[in-house]
Amino acid sequence: MHSFKALSEKFELQFGKRQFPDFPPNLYDPAQYILGIGGKRIRPVLTLLGNELFDEIHADAYHAANAIELFHNFTLIHDDIMDKAPLRRGKPTVHTKYSEPAAILAGDVMLIHCYDYLNKIQLRLQQKVTVVFNKAAREVCEGQQLDMDMEQMRPEQVNYTDYVNMIALKTSVLLAASLQLGAIIGGGSDGNQGHLYEFGKNVGIAFQIQDDYLDAFGDPEKFGKQQGGDILINKKTFLLLKALELCTPAQKAHLHDLMERNPDNKVAEVLQVFHDCKVDAWAEKEKERFCNIAFGHLDDIAVLSKRKEPLRELADFLLTRQH
Amino acid sequence: MHSFKALSEKFELQFGKRQFPDFPPNLYDPAQYILGIGGKRIRPVLTLLGNELFDEIHADAYHAANAIELFHNFTLIHDDIMDKAPLRRGKPTVHTKYSEPAAILAGDVMLIHCYDYLNKIQLRLQQKVTVVFNKAAREVCEGQQLDMDMEQMRPEQVNYTDYVNMIALKTSVLLAASLQLGAIIGGGSDGNQGHLYEFGKNVGIAFQIQDDYLDAFGDPEKFGKQQGGDILINKKTFLLLKALELCTPAQKAHLHDLMERNPDNKVAEVLQVFHDCKVDAWAEKEKERFCNIAFGHLDDIAVLSKRKEPLRELADFLLTRQH
């Protein structure tokens, strides 16, 4: 069994080479570019971890992991176009560096390439693998569309349950499916696959709540971002949506006023309302709630506890970060 | 054995239902919209014809045909964004009717859905089918990028062989692969698959030359388009590229002047140069050349001549149209 770090290195060793032909460069260079600007490769390593939970790592796990990482980067390219994002990991986004048509097409060819890798997997697993991969792929698209839909709504029009569902689709189901693909390749039973999937999905939601919390209440020096970045742009977050549910009519009116006027002390004032209506404490409990669901599913996987250590360590690392 | 028309009806009967879930509507309605605005369904019917060349139509041929038609429509959505096209088949394009983000995402989810269909094909054929499908898919992306690259070049910078290659990738390899997928499912040998592929590819190139020819020299009433539409927008066509190769320096200067100045009599003047340097006669010969290659490959397919009739009829129909 290997640690996350050891598996990251193993993954990178075979993924780090050029993934695409040289010609035509205006098609393939943008695709290669985004693969080269970093990223923690969490998803593909989850596939390797999911495999190793049940058995030694099979070559097929690398094929699935490569497909997952390509898919993730494809979504980044297209999402950045839709969100008009100029930067990604501190570097120009693909459509900014090249052009929007080049970015659309590079994403397309990257998505196609995913299925080249899935097609290398042993035949008896291919249908199941593709079903799981495609379900997640479709759901990620649904999540992105629902996110765009919700952006057009006023915060109090967004139902909290719908928001959690959107976050799960947009960010968590791919983590969950990454693990499940590994489990399929490792020979895990359907029941164990299901528990592993739910573990990944709920860790993903807990992580997103933590991310929203840290953006508001985290130490900006440790977190490496401007404090209250989400607040400044009126981003719908777990905190804002729940605050609007928990707060008094007067606090609600104050929040709306702050979001409309954008005064200099907006971040401090919004944080004060968050604190007054105890949404900070709520967020910690809500994160805990999803963590408990996640670890409950991890416990229920019928393999020796020792085999679960790398997954437990990774989740602990992701979910207790203060930076 | 069935005619093109009979197979079109069979195809539509199972493809014409809604292909996507209802929710979220802003994702799936745009995808469904483009499937509903018509199209001749040539590619999926080629798959059925390719199957029936060798054997009775198998359910798998419909799976492959559906994937091909979805893929084709995916490329239309994304190409229309890249080309900033307001209309497609006389109706608003997807990004015009909905939005650009919705169109990007609808295309993505449509591409993913292709592989749901391929995943339904019997296991022993799946790997080969995916290899053929993905090769064509990648090449269509390459063709679109090369087309955009060439658009940035001046006509005389574009090498004629490179142009033919671009056209083949952008428009012909999908026709060729559609036929080949049918042949795989029908049990055609590798050799027969190869001939069928080349038949489709060369018919596609011949068709494109004819299309360029008719735009310039066709009867606008029969053709249903404005005569010289390509000339008006200085579009790089087989005719223009070859004319620049064949004409005298004086004619070349005249063409450049017309393309820059856009005078009222531009179409007539350009057509006169085309006629003077005999590019109209050349185009007819060039189309004939690709037709001969295509039909040579059709002849070489080792099945009874009678089985080839529907393909021959379709090619004759496509390549002798005056409208």
Q: Using one digit for the tens of pLDDT, what is the confidence trace for A284-310? A: 999 999 999 999 999 999 999 999 999
Q: Does B111 touch chain A (CB under 8 A)?
A: yes
Rounded to an integer, what distance in angstroms lies between the CA atom of residue A168 and that of residue B105?
18
Rounded to an integer, what distance in angstroms lies between the CA atom of residue A29 and that of residue B261?
37
Mean pLDDT of chain B: 95
B195 and B118 in a common domain: no
**Among A75, A95, A117, A138, which would you mutate to test the B interface (most chain B Cβ atoms within 10 Å of its Cβ)?**
A138
A209 and A78 in a common domain: no
Q: Which residues of A touch B127 (CB under 8 A)?
A: 119, 123, 126
Q: For B84, which DSSP code?
A: T
A219 and A115 in a common domain: no
In a domain, A80, yes or no: yes
What tens digit of pLDDT does each residue of B216-260 get?
998 877 766 678 989 999 999 999 999 999 999 999 999 999 999
- Which of B82, B104, B144 has its CB closest to that of A78? B104
Residue A322 pLDDT greater than 60, yes or no: no
SS3 of chain A: CCCHHHHHHHHHHHHCCCCCCCCCHHHHHHHHHHHHCCCCCHHHHHHHHHHHCCCCCCHHHHHHHHHHHHHHHHHHHHHHHHCCCCEECCEECHHHHCCHHHHHHHHHHHHHHHHHHHCCCCHHHHHHHHHHHHHHHHHHHHHHHHHHHHHCCCHHHCCHHHHHHHHHHHHHHHHHHHHHHHHHHHCCCHHHHHHHHHHHHHHHHHHHHHHHHHHHHCCHHHHCCCCCHHHHCCCCCHHHHHHHHHCCHHHHHHHHHHHHHCCCCHHHHHHHHHHHCCHHHHHHHHHHHHHHHHHHHHHHCCCCHHHHHHHHHHHHHHHCCCC
The pairing of strands B91-92 and A87-88 is unpaired
Nearest to A295 by CA among A313, A278, A276, A279: A313
B278 and B152 in a common domain: no
Q: Does A141 touch chain B (CB under 8 A)?
A: yes
In a domain, A106, yes or no: yes
Domain of residue A83 covers 1-141
Say what the pLDDT of residue A221 is.
74
What tens digit of pLDDT does each residue of A124-183 get?
999 999 999 999 999 999 999 999 999 999 998 999 999 999 999 999 999 999 999 999
Say whether B222 sits in a helix, a strand or coil.
helix
Mean pLDDT of B312-320: 93
Mean pLDDT of chain A: 95
- Which of A105, A127, A141 has its CB closest to that of B105? A141
In a domain, B264, yes or no: yes
Q: What percent of chain B has pLDDT over 90?
A: 93
The answer to whether B286 and B238 are in contact (CB under 8 A) is yes
B198 and B63 in a common domain: no
**Among B105, B125, B158, B165, which would you mutate to test the A interface (most chain A Cβ atoms within 10 Å of its Cβ)?**
B105
Q: Does B165 touch chain A (CB under 8 A)?
A: no
In a domain, B171, yes or no: no
Residue A72 pLDDT greater than 90, yes or no: yes
> Model confidence at B323, in pLDDT bands (50, 70, 90)?
very low
A2 and A102 in a common domain: yes
B254 and B140 in a common domain: no
Q: Which one of A109, A141, A173 terminates a domain? A: A141
Q: For B275, which DSSP code?
A: H
∠ Cα A3 A4 A6 (to 5°): 65
Nearest to A11 by CA among A30, A31, A51: A51
CB contact under 8 A, B137 and A104: no
A136 and A1 in a common domain: yes
Residue A323 pLDDT greater than 50, yes or no: no
Q: Which residues of A touch B111 (CB under 8 A)?
A: 108, 111-112
In a domain, A95, yes or no: yes
Q: What's the total number of domains in chain B?
A: 2
The Cα-based distances of A209 to A39, A200, A284, A286 in angstroms read 20, 15, 8, 8
Say what the pLDDT of residue B224 is.
63
B12 and B102 in a common domain: yes
A121 and A203 in a common domain: no
> Model confidence at A35, in pLDDT bands (50, 70, 90)?
very high
Q: Which of A110-114, A186-190, B313-317 is least confident?
A: B313-317
Q: What percent of chain A has pLDDT over 70?
A: 98
B307 and B271 in a common domain: yes
In a domain, B51, yes or no: yes
Domain CATH code at residue A82? 1.10.600.10
CA nearest B120 in A: which residue? Answer: A127
Rounded to an integer, what distance in angstroms lies between the CA atom of residue B183 and that of residue B195?
10
In a domain, A296, yes or no: yes
Nearest to B306 by CA among B9, B52, B47: B52
B102 and B236 in a common domain: no
In a domain, B182, yes or no: no
Q: Does A252 touch chain B (CB under 8 A)?
A: no
Residue B322 pLDDT greater than 60, yes or no: no
Rounded to an integer, what distance in angstroms lies between the CA atom of residue A32 and that of residue A17?
10
Residue B321 pLDDT greater than 60, yes or no: no
Q: What percent of chain B has pLDDT over 70?
A: 98
Reported ipTM = 0.96
Q: Which one of B98, B130, B165 terminates a domain? A: B165
Q: Does A27 touch chain B (CB under 8 A)?
A: yes
Residue B6 pLDDT greater than 80, yes or no: yes
Rounded to an integer, what distance in angstroms lies between the CA atom of residue B93 and that of residue B261?
31
Q: Which residue has the tokens 């529907």?
A: B310
- Which of A100, A115, A141 has its CB closest to that of B108? A141
